[in-house]
Amino acid sequence: MGGEKAKNSSLREPFLNELSPVDSVAGLEELRVRYLGKKGLLTSELKSLGGLPPDERRAAGAVLNETKEFIEQALAQRKQELKDLELRRKLASESIDVTLPGSYVQPGRIHPLTQTLEEITDVFVSMGFSVEEGPEVELDYYNFEALNIPKEHPAREMQDTFYVSNDIVLRTHTSPVQIRVMQRKSPPLKFIAPGKVYRCDADISHTPMFHQIEGLMVGEDITFSHLKAVLESFLHRIFSPDVPVRFRPSYFPFTEPSAEVDIGCIFCKGTGCRTCKGSGWIEILGAGMVNPHVFEMVGYDPKKYSGFAFGMGIERIAMLKYSIDDIRLFYENDIRFLGQF
Ligand code: DAH
């Protein structure tokens, strides 16, 4: 029995010593091969059993088999431990603290001016108008000359112009797009032309850059009635179906006759308030019948064709629609302001 005991511990102990520092599944496999592989330590002892006398062989065989089972179990147990350890490490490194505050991504909004522009555009497109564009850096010729505003004309003083050079300006209105389109196309045509315009002016209701929408409709037999119908239905759709609309005689060099178009004050319903300066009316846009001189400038026959034009500021309409009292708010990009629309 003493011999059996010695045999037993002679492999168990070195095995346990070798097992204890193993820290990977690959290391375990190496150890298994060292003991239980074809040429393993325990395997060769099993092989050598054949050389023992039969009565010793039986006892020694039992001990070896027990040791083999012991080693197999110890390897399996350690393998499981290593797997658990690895899983715990992985979980720890990937853990998420669900109590931490989340990172909130604020959804974007469409700028109130863009919303207003899109709304205005939709109304005119629904009436069959197309959309045109022109350059913001414009020739003096298109911005003034071809619109019947010659060099010495007093109307030029109405515009605080940014000059780029003697004959190049930042356009002061979207009206030059009228000329560019009429030069390119022949009548009939009806379009709007939205875009940025520039004037040397800054206060609570003026910024050096702002936006306008120009409109032009040209054909045979276009009359002031068409102008009235188009602008009235536009204003009814943008403000409200029952808002009063008024045409006041006015002057623009590129239209004759010209009108200033007002709506009944949407704040006081016409009784008079601060916004309408007590008048009960709010000026919205300028308009008129295209001046025959303008047609001549683009080579249209003024005896054959007539048309109307109009122009409006987008900021002004957005300010009225959303009750905004300072134009500069549009350009400060304060999220607290922009998030309200
Ligand atoms: N261009 C004018 C302005 O900037 C607005 C305007 C008035 C445009 C009358 C027109 C018009 O087409 O007919 O103040």
Nearest CA, atom 3, ligand 1: 173
**CA 331 to ligand 1 center in whole angstroms:** 24
Q: Give the number of the atom of ligand 1 that is nearest the alpha carbon of residue 216.
A: 12
pLDDT of residue 10: 81
Q: What is residue 159's three-state secondary structure? A: coil
pLDDT of residue 313: 97
Mutation test of ligand 1: which of 222, 224, 252 has the most ligand atoms closer than 8 Å to its C-beta?
A: 252
Taking the C-alpha atoms of residue 258 and residue 281, their distance in angstroms, rounded to an integer, is 18
Average pLDDT of every residue of the chain:
92
252 CB within 6 A, ligand 1: yes
Taking the C-alpha atoms of residue 61 and residue 69, their distance in angstroms, rounded to an integer, is 12
pLDDT in tens, 214-244: 999 999 999 999 999 999 999 999 999 999 9
Give the residue-averaged pLDDT of 16-21: 92
Give the residue-averaged pLDDT of 182-203: 95
8 confidence band (pLDDT: 50, 70, 90): low
pLDDT of residue 159: 60
The answer to whether the CB of 172 falls within 8 A of the CB of 157 is: no
pLDDT of residue 3: 44
Q: Give the number of the atom of ligand 1 that is nearest the alpha carbon of residue 212.
A: 4
Give the residue-averaged pLDDT of 176-188: 98
Q: Which of 184, 173, 191 is nearest to 131 (CA)?
A: 191
Tell me, what DSSP letter sits at residue 217?
E
Task: Give, in order, the Cα–Cα distances in Å from 188 to each of 129, 242, 254.
Answer: 11, 31, 19
pLDDT in tens, 38-49: 999 989 888 888
**CA 173 to ligand 1 center in whole angstroms:** 7
**CA 311 to ligand 1 center in whole angstroms:** 4
**Does 5 score more than 80 pLDDT?**
no
Task: Give, in order, the Cα–Cα distances in Å from 124 to each of 54, 121, 240, 325.
Answer: 111, 5, 16, 27
Nearest CA, atom 8, ligand 1: 311
Determine what percent of the chain is predicted with pLDDT higher than 90.
71
311 CB within 6 A, ligand 1: yes
77-86, 149-158, 263-272, 309-318: least confident range: 149-158
78 CB within 6 A, ligand 1: no
pLDDT of residue 4: 44
**CA 16 to ligand 1 center in whole angstroms:** 97
**Does 7 score more than 60 pLDDT?**
no
Tell me, what DSSP letter sits at residue 247?
E
Which amino acid type is present at position 297? M
Return the number of other C-beta atoms located less than 10 Å from residue 118's C-beta: 11
**CA 324 to ligand 1 center in whole angstroms:** 23
Q: Give the number of the atom of ligand 1 that is nearest the alpha carbon of residue 308.
A: 13
pLDDT in tens, 112-160: 999 999 999 999 999 999 999 999 999 999 999 999 998 877 767 656 8
214 CB within 6 A, ligand 1: yes
pLDDT of residue 223: 98
pLDDT of residue 199: 92
Return the number of other C-beta atoms located less than 10 Å from residue 196's C-beta: 13
Give the residue-averaged pLDDT of 99-106: 87
Return the number of other C-beta atoms located less than 10 Å from residue 246's C-beta: 15
**CA 148 to ligand 1 center in whole angstroms:** 12
50-54, 125-129, 292-296, 336-340: least confident range: 50-54
Taking the C-alpha atoms of residue 244 and residue 80, their distance in angstroms, rounded to an integer, is 85
pLDDT of residue 1: 41
**Does 95 score more than 60 pLDDT?**
yes
Determine what percent of the chain is predicted with pLDDT higher than 70.
96
255 CB within 6 A, ligand 1: yes
**Does 62 score more than 60 pLDDT?**
yes
pLDDT in tens, 280-320: 999 999 999 999 999 999 999 999 999 999 999 999 999 99
Which residues lie closer than 8 Å to 141 by C-beta, 6 or more apart? 167
pLDDT of residue 328: 93
